[in-house]
Structure 1
Amino acid sequence: MDISGNTIFIPGATSGIGLALALELKARGNTVIIGGRRTELLESLAAAQPGLDTVTIDTADAASIRAAAGEVLARHPDLNVLVAMAGIMRVEDWHQPETFLADAEAVVTTNVLGPIRLIAAFVEHLRSRPAATIMTVSSGLAFAPLRATPSYNASKAAIHLLSESLRLQLADTGVRVVELVPPAVRTGLLPGQEESEFAMPLDDFVAEVVGLIESQPDAREIQVERVKFLRYGEARGDYDQVVATLNQADPHGK
């Protein structure tokens, strides 16, 4: 993926990593469209950032995804990058099924079905472009589990293998599949995470990500240094230690 000259749609980009990445990519000379559920917030962001386009989308709703895709492509027929950013994280206690099941189902709907539906809505168009990119967003927790968030861990492991599989299937097209693998970042993904000493500062994360995109345009995975402790535990042979350290140091994912 080139660092500039793209037309990029990032649903789930009204806050956190999505918004910070959108603004940085816009500053690098890309046309950027962000999506989110709250129309008033989108309007406020567009007013504060001239040139930033917006579209209302609920990535947990299949009909909303189809409608938003039609709107984006009608306004931006040169779209060549989709960043499937939207995701949620919930703490679950599986000792008490009545307390976690609704949260677990919401995580799977948003984090797994959401990206699948988004990619399905855009892949035909992206295949028509001479050079296009689908960027998925997994997590270091796809490779080492946090005890408190079973469904989130599983959803991100699913995204990792979805990315690997789509890359194989789309190898005969002009569509590249790139997987962004964040560590814990200081966002509002969980209560208290924005102040967590264990999480990476958001500005530092986005700066490193953009630097990696620029220096490694053919990368399959975008991995900041901080995530490699989780990403490669099994390959290094210290997986059990990684899992123990992760859960001892940060038992609530904060």
Structure 2
Amino acid sequence: MNLTQQTILLTGGGSGIGLALAERLHAVGNTVLICGRDAAKLQAAAERLPGLRTLVCDVAQTAERQRLFEWATTECPDVNVLLNNAGVQRTVSVLENTEAWATTAGEIAINLEAPMHLALLFVGYWHTRQQAAPVIINVSSGLGFVPLARVPVYSATKAALHSFTQSLRRQLAGTPTQVIEIIPPAVHTELGGTDHSFGVPLAEYADDVMQQLAAGHLEIAYGFSAKASQATRPELDSMFQQLNG
């Protein structure tokens, strides 16, 4: 992937991996648009990164995803990179679960429906415009290969996103659209409101993602996720036992 002079829409760009990638993509000369649900975080990012364009948006909602697409293509008609990063991770006990289904559905919508919907919107837009060298980047997770049982919905949505990304890449083979998957391990972020201090430092991880993007990798994995994404079935079973021991 060419990392300069692109116009990039990045979801979930107000914090964590999304913000770290937005900073790096902005620094190397791209036009970057980000969205998120926290207006204060988006404003802080815009104040630090001149020219950054932001939109407060909840991608869990179908109408909001449509609004995001229309905003991005109006603000920057030549937008050619969609980076589906927004995600939410919740601890769920299936035996003690009393939450309304809408709460579970919201996690599924952000993690899976949103990247699928936005990908379909942008593929159609690029095809109509005969856009040169468009790129879809989906951020899945190492937990899509080796589930963490205490976050069952998150793990399942990331497994499904990996599957969708593979199908998307195959269907778009022979077209100008490139499909890339970023597969993070545990990283020092606030994802899930949990302590990720055991994971990879955020700056270290974001720098590695940029290097792998520049090298043209279609699957970008690191540490645990690199091992999980290439593991045999016996290795996956062993990793599952270790992770959930």
Any stretches of 5+ residues in structure 1 without a counterpart?
Answer: 249-254
1:228 Cα deviation (Å)? 1.8
Distance 1:105 1:68 in 2: 20
1:101 Cα deviation (Å)? 4.4
Matched residue, 1:252: none
Letter in 2 for 1:162: F
2:163 counterpart of 1:149: no
Matched residue, 2:182: 180
1:53 Cα deviation (Å)? 1.3
2:191 counterpart of 1:189: yes
- 1:50-102: CA deviations, max 9, x gaps? 12111222100111111121111111111110001111000011113424845
Q: Report the TM-score, using the length of structure 1 for normalisation.
A: 0.90
2:11 counterpart of 1:14: no
- 1:194-233: CA deviations, max 9, x gaps? 4x22x11111110111111112x2x221112342222223
Q: How has the CA–CA distance of structure 1 residues 77 and 99 changed in structure 2, closer, same or farther, with 3 Å as cutoff?
A: closer
Coordinate RMSD, CA, aligned = 1.6
Number of residues paired by the alignment? 243
Q: State, as a whole percentage, how many aligned pairs show the same letter.
A: 35
Matched residue, 1:251: none
Counterparts of residues 95-106 of structure 1 (less than 5 Å)? 95-99=95-99, 101-106=101-106
Counterparts of residues 192-211 of structure 1 (less than 5 Å)? 192-194=194-196, 196-197=197-198, 199-211=199-211
Matched residue, 2:225: 227
Q: Tell me the SS of whatever aligns to 1:172.
A: coil
Distance 2:62 2:21 in 1: 25
Q: Report the TM-score, using the length of structure 2 for normalisation.
A: 0.93
Any stretches of 5+ residues in structure 2 without a counterpart?
Answer: none
Answer with 29-38 or 219-228: which moved more: 219-228
1:112·1:158 contact (CA, 8 Å) conserved in 2? yes
Q: Tell me the SS of whatever aligns to 1:21.
A: helix
1:114 Cα deviation (Å)? 1.1
Counterparts of residues 35-114 of structure 1 (less than 5 Å)? 35-99=35-99, 101-114=101-114
Distance 1:44 1:225 in 2: 31
